[in-house]
Structure 1
Amino acid sequence: MNILQSKMLLALALILSLMSCKAQTLPLNTALLDIPNGAYIKDTNNELAPYIGTYKTNFNGNEITLFLTKQENKLQKRSSKQFYRDALVIKYIVKNSSGTILQDTQNNNLDIASIFSIGTEPTENTITFVYRGTHCNVGFGEIKLKRIDSTQISWQYRPNDIVTTAAKCPPTLDTKIYLPETKDLIFTKQ
């Protein structure tokens, strides 16, 4: 083999090596166990788009406004791997009856009070979210949104053990959960 052939073979091997390093793209509802490290879970069927928008409701005297946006390539870190996912992200404002803001996460770029989608059930028009909770993860739990039609979604929020989590938090931090802890609450698109 001459020098030119050796260089061409080396270049071909390098190109093939780089191509194999490209992240694997998988559909949105790929099971966590089936996701390899570094993969990209993509919204290939555009399942997230119908939920994007601003929604409002009133619950127990409070006005709740949800802002749903799509974030592509959202980094997901698990104990044994990390990957990227297209996800819906919920930011929100909760106001009391006099208009005072009780909680506002619109400019929150931290994990505190973050809400992001982790899966869809297309046949049921449902998206499941994880809520990281507020300080000390108080309220950590699952939120489900069901698309009723093009203008309404139904809300269900189930927090995990609140009392035990709040007891571990310093008393100076606000551990109140402002999100509605209920099922079948209707939000209307604005």
Structure 2
Amino acid sequence: MKIITKIIILIGLITIVNSCKAQILPLNTALDNIPNNAQVKDLNNELNPFIGTYKANFEGNEITLFITKEENKLEKRVNKQFYRDALVIKYIIKNVNGLVLQDTQNSSLNQLYSLGTRPYENLVILYYYGTNCGVGWGKVTLKKLNSTQLSWTYNPNSTSVRDDCPANADKTVYLPETDNLIFTKQ
């Protein structure tokens, strides 16, 4: 009798442990299909070709993108949280005189992160939270043109300022608002 009880307890514990393991899903799984605490993984290495440092010039400013891959980035939604492999872009923007207008290298603010890919188009879709007070939030798309070049498209969804925004906050969007700007790998 004691052996049967121990076996039942052991089976119960194994079931509980197995059910606690996070479910692993492919990178482009729709948000509605991602259960709580799942892992959305870059199983096909779709993000890797975009990793690197890239530069472009736009309207007299030099833009340097630092693109890295972050594994298991925590995503919190209203009714669930999950982990996602994502590209994270930090950047430096300098004017024609070399003065730094914006530098996000040592900050978690103003960065961009990927939401998904379109591998058949060599495209990654990123979300930008916007600059101070959310100004300029929206979608950025990067298209891999070849081994050394990316095409950048960014059109902000909103340039409006939140009501709670401090009057002295810099509300300038320094990222290039344009289509098909070519960045070259350094």
Confirm or deny: 8 A CA contact 1:166 1:175 kept in the other structure: no
| Map of 1:151 onto structure 2 | 148
| Map of 1:3 onto structure 2 | 2
Offset from partner CA, 1:35-79 (integer Å, 9 cap, x none): 111110000000000000000000000000000000000001111
More displaced 10-residue stretch of structure 1: 12-21 or 44-53 = 12-21
| Map of 1:171 onto structure 2 | 167
TM-score normalised by L of structure 2:
0.97
Confirm or deny: 8 A CA contact 1:140 1:160 kept in the other structure: yes
Poorly superposed stretches of 4+, deviation over 4 Å: none
Q: Cα RMSD between the aligned structures?
A: 1.1
Q: 1:166 and 1:80, CA in 2 relative to 1: closer, same or farther beyond 3 A? A: closer
Deviation, 1:80, is 1.4
| Map of 1:20 onto structure 2 | 19
Whole-Å Cα distance in 1 between the matches of residues 155 and 76 of structure 2? 23
- Structure 1 unpaired stretches of 5+: none
Whole-Å Cα distance in 1 between the matches of residues 156 and 63 of structure 2? 17
Q: AA paired with 2:134?
A: N
Q: Does 1:161 align with 2:168?
A: no
Q: AA paired with 2:93?
A: V
Offset from partner CA, 1:77-127 (integer Å, 9 cap, x none): 111111000000000000001101000000012xx3121000100000000
Q: How many residues align?
A: 186
One of 96, 112, 117 as aligned partner of 1:115: 112
TM-score normalised by L of structure 1:
0.95
Identity %: 58
Confirm or deny: 8 A CA contact 2:91 2:111 kept in the other structure: no
- Structure 2 unpaired stretches of 5+: none
Confirm or deny: 8 A CA contact 2:129 2:138 kept in the other structure: yes
Whole-Å Cα distance in 2 between the matches of residues 177 and 88 of structure 1? 21
Whole-Å Cα distance in 2 between the matches of residues 139 and 99 of structure 1? 24
